[in-house]
Amino acid sequence: MTRLLAPDADGLDEAARLLRDGGLVAFPSETVYGLGGDARNDRAVARIYEAKGRPSFNPLIVHLPDAEAVARFAVLPAGWERLGHLWPGPMTLVLPVRPGSGLSPLVTAGLDSVAVRVPAHPVTRALLRAFGGPLAGPSANPSGRISPTRADHVLDGLSGRIEAVVDGGPCAVGVESTILGLVGAPRLLRPGGVPVEELEAILGPLPTGGDAAQPSAPGQLVSHYAPRGRVRLNTRAAGDEVGIGFGAGPEGLNLSPSADLVEAAANLFHMLRAADDHAGAGGTIAVAPIPETGLGRAINDRLRRAAAPR
């Protein structure tokens, strides 16, 4: 039985108790819901992989309350302060693991780097305070499926497989954090909630990391975020296809009628899920063109994965 916990003091105390006991608790963040477990507890981390059905070579993000806590588990490179104003927020840094950090090696999937993030959502921050440790948290969806942006999305995919979900309502950003690799020269490992342009204004042009065959961030696997049906991009729905619109258009599902990319990102996974439910395994989802700027890059990245043949 998976319990639904309120985001108040009682609910968060209970969530923290479950986490300390090695339990799994899904939690809201400003990006998407995370599947939380104690990052120092091998069994808890193993259960995260099991609950998600995630291939074990996919390392997990560790959530921490501030940069000081990050420095206990990872090595922040000289000059990282130029990015400091982006924390708390939807930015994840991949850093060298601090030796003796106490993190379960399962969290990093055996790598000597670790992905760390300082979330901004008040409920995530209150949970981190109540728990008092490093919180491993991949997106709270079965591996390869659409990321959850509401507590009921989490229950759709993981009910019965985890102890609890803290219900913090819909996620404001709606796409995952931007992942910046800072082991050696800075590299963009995944576009996300912080626009790449904002990072490039600070760091200069960023090479992108990995390819489909050798993904450095498994979110880069080509067929990720997959609905059951077929997905066509940059097009309008024809016949009995299910359309997802953007800007002016007749579609019932519209990411943002006013063509606002922030609104579109917040709606993306919710609407892909709704379209998937309508279309079913044999159906087709047709998605309108999304501009390739700002959050549009993260949206198109997710959509290309959703549309990749598999």
Residues binding ligand TXA (CB under 6 A): 29, 31-32, 34, 58-61, 92, 94, 108, 111, 113-115, 117, 137-139, 176-177, 179, 189, 216-219
Q: Give the shortest CB-59-to-Mg ion separation in angstroms.
A: 11
Interacting residues of 10 by C-beta distance below 8 A, sequence separation 6+: none
Nearest in space to 267 (alpha carbons), one of 279, 251, 255: 255
- Please answer whether residues 53 and 129 qualify as being in contact, where contact means their C-beta atoms are separated by less than 8 angstroms: no
Q: Give the shortest CB-79-to-ligand TXA separation in angstroms.
A: 20
- Residue whose CB is less far from ligand TXA, 11 or 174: 174
Q: Give the shortest CB-75-to-ligand TXA separation in angstroms.
A: 13
d(CA 73, CA 78): 16
- Residue whose CB is less far from Mg ion, 190 or 297: 190
Copy the structure tokens of residue 162.
Answer: 């985890």
- Residue whose CB is less far from ligand TXA, 138 or 186: 138
Q: Give the shortest CB-60-to-ligand TXA separation in angstroms.
A: 5
Backbone dihedral region for residue 184 (phi beyond 0: left; psi -120 to 50: alpha; all else: beta): left
Q: Give the shortest CB-250-to-ligand TXA separation in angstroms.
A: 32
| # residues contacting Mg ion (CB under 5 A) | 1
115 binds, among Mg ion, ligand TXA, none (CB under 5 to 8 A by kind): ligand TXA
- Residue whose CB is less far from Mg ion, 75 or 111: 111
Q: Give the shortest CB-7-to-ligand TXA separation in angstroms.
A: 15
- Please answer whether residues 252 and 171 qualify as being in contact, where contact means their C-beta atoms are separated by less than 8 angstroms: no
- Residue whose CB is less far from Mg ion, 101 or 220: 220
Q: Which stretch binds Mg ion (CB under 5 A): 98-106, 135-143, 179-187, 239-247?
A: 135-143
Q: Which stretch binds Mg ion (CB under 5 A): 2-10, 137-145, 201-209, 236-244?
A: 137-145
Among 108, 113, 139, 267, binds Mg ion (CB under 5 A): 139
By CB atoms closer than 10 A (0-12, 13-18, 19+), residue 7 is: buried
Copy the structure tokens of residue 38.
Answer: 């104690």
By CB atoms closer than 10 A (0-12, 13-18, 19+), residue 137 is: buried
Q: Give the shortest CB-284-to-ligand TXA separation in angstroms.
A: 26
Q: Which residues pair with 91 in a beta bridge?
A: 178
- Residue whose CB is less far from Mg ion, 37 or 245: 37
Nearest in space to 231 (alpha carbons), one of 239, 221, 241: 241
Copy the structure tokens of residue 216.
Answer: 């450095």
User: Helices (H), strands (E): how many in the chain?
Assistant: 8, 14
- Residue whose CB is less far from ligand TXA, 166 or 253: 166
d(CA 75, CA 101): 10
- Residue whose CB is less far from Mg ion, 139 or 256: 139
Q: Which residue is closest to Mg ion by CB?
A: 139
Nearest in space to 139 (alpha carbons), one of 15, 217, 26, 307: 26
Q: Quote the Cα angle for 148-153-158, to 5°.
A: 95
Note whether 178 binds Mg ion by CB under 5 A.
Answer: no
36 binds, among Mg ion, ligand TXA, none (CB under 5 to 8 A by kind): none
Q: Give the shortest CB-303-to-ligand TXA separation in angstroms.
A: 16
Chain residues binding Mg ion by CB under 5 A are: 139
